[in-house]
Amino acid sequence: MNKIGLYNIDSKMPNYALMKISKWHKAHNDNVTWYTPIEHPLFDRVYASSIFTWSDKSYLQDSVITGGTGFNIKTKLTQDIDDCEPDYSLYSDFKQAIGFLTRGCIRKCSECFVPEKEGMIRPYRDIETIVQDRKEVILFDNNVLACDHGLKQIERITEMPIKVDFNQGLDARLITEDIAYLLSKVRWLKPLRLACDNISMIEPVRKAVELLRKYHCTPTNYFIYLLVKDIPSALTRAIFCRELKTDPFAQPYRNIKGDEPPKILKHFSRWVNHKAIFKTVDWNDYEIHTPTISNRDRSKATP
């Protein structure tokens, strides 16, 4: 029996890969537990997983087996481990099921790792396999609406007594009358999520929201991701979301190295994400009363 250590470096969400690794090792009679660097000599093998490129990994021992986008987008679980279902005993207080119905994406967004990491969209799991005996499910598909398998799984979801959150958002460009009607039959764990990451997405998001509301897909204050690369574009999109009576969530852009975003982008995101302020205070008024944002920082807001 080996003692296996697991280290989830940077995510508050249960780590899907580490849960699969745990299941595989327990099936081989190994002792699996959480790891801290100070205990390194006590373990026979240690796995560390990181989602974000900017997380500090300098303190890890060379012998640690690393994986995840935060380390190297080329790393993958071996097929026998990937075939395992996640070990929920690692997160005893977490009540939702998690997983993917599909992997990959049809899009090739420049700021996204998925096209290079996972390739073209393909079937991955059935909803029954993911749910097990749980009543709430968080799904991490990158573009579930772009795959026939994904749409068939959503049809199955509408027939099951479960609530679902497509955590990474749905592609507004793919929401047709038929798909809006299908989504209206889903029981949502959180508000349905879309993304408006550039100006070209405004009209697709507007059309998608109109269709979703037409078919009474509730709740109707849809959650909209906003990628913030520069202030003029982000401001246009944020105001659009406010006028559309949706709930924008701004995310300051980090480059592929994970460098810290300019302060002005983080400041803008705080304005958007503080709902009471966002609904009552204009950006210009909010910005001008922030002396910590220098003119140099403001100049970084536009590429």
Residues near 159 by Cβ (< 8 Å), separated by ≥ 6?
none
**Domain extent listing, the chain:** 1-86, 95-191, 221-303
pTM of the model: 0.91
Mean pLDDT of 213-223: 95
Q: Please say if the pLDDT value at position 80 is more than 80.
A: yes
Query: How many Cβ atoms sit within 10 Å of the Cβ of residue 272?
Result: 25
Instruction: Give CA–CA dist 173/182, Å, rounded.
Output: 15
pLDDT for res 302: 46
Please, which pLDDT band fits residue 268 given cuts at 50, 70 and 90?
very high
CATH code given to domain 95-191: 3.30.750.210
CA angle 198, 203, 205 (to 5 degrees): 75
What is the chain's Cα-based Rg?
21
pLDDT for res 303: 42
Q: What pLDDT digit, counting tens, does each position of 5-16 carry?
A: 999 998 778 999
Q: What pLDDT digit, counting tens, does each position of 40-59 carry?
A: 788 999 999 998 888 888 88
Q: Please say if the pLDDT value at position 228 is more than 90.
A: yes
Please, which pLDDT band fits residue 259 given cuts at 50, 70 and 90?
confident
CA angle 16, 258, 69 (to 5 degrees): 25
| Residue 293 tokens, joined | 């944002």
Please, which pLDDT band fits residue 2 given cuts at 50, 70 and 90?
very high
| Residue 268 tokens, joined | 């803008």
Q: Please say if the pLDDT value at position 297 is more than 60.
A: no
Share the mean pLDDT of the chain: 92
Q: What pLDDT digit, counting tens, does each position of 109-139 carry?
A: 877 888 888 899 999 999 999 998 999 999 9
Cβ contact 79:57 at 8 Å: no
Please, which pLDDT band fits residue 225 given cuts at 50, 70 and 90?
very high
| Residue 85 tokens, joined | 């279902």
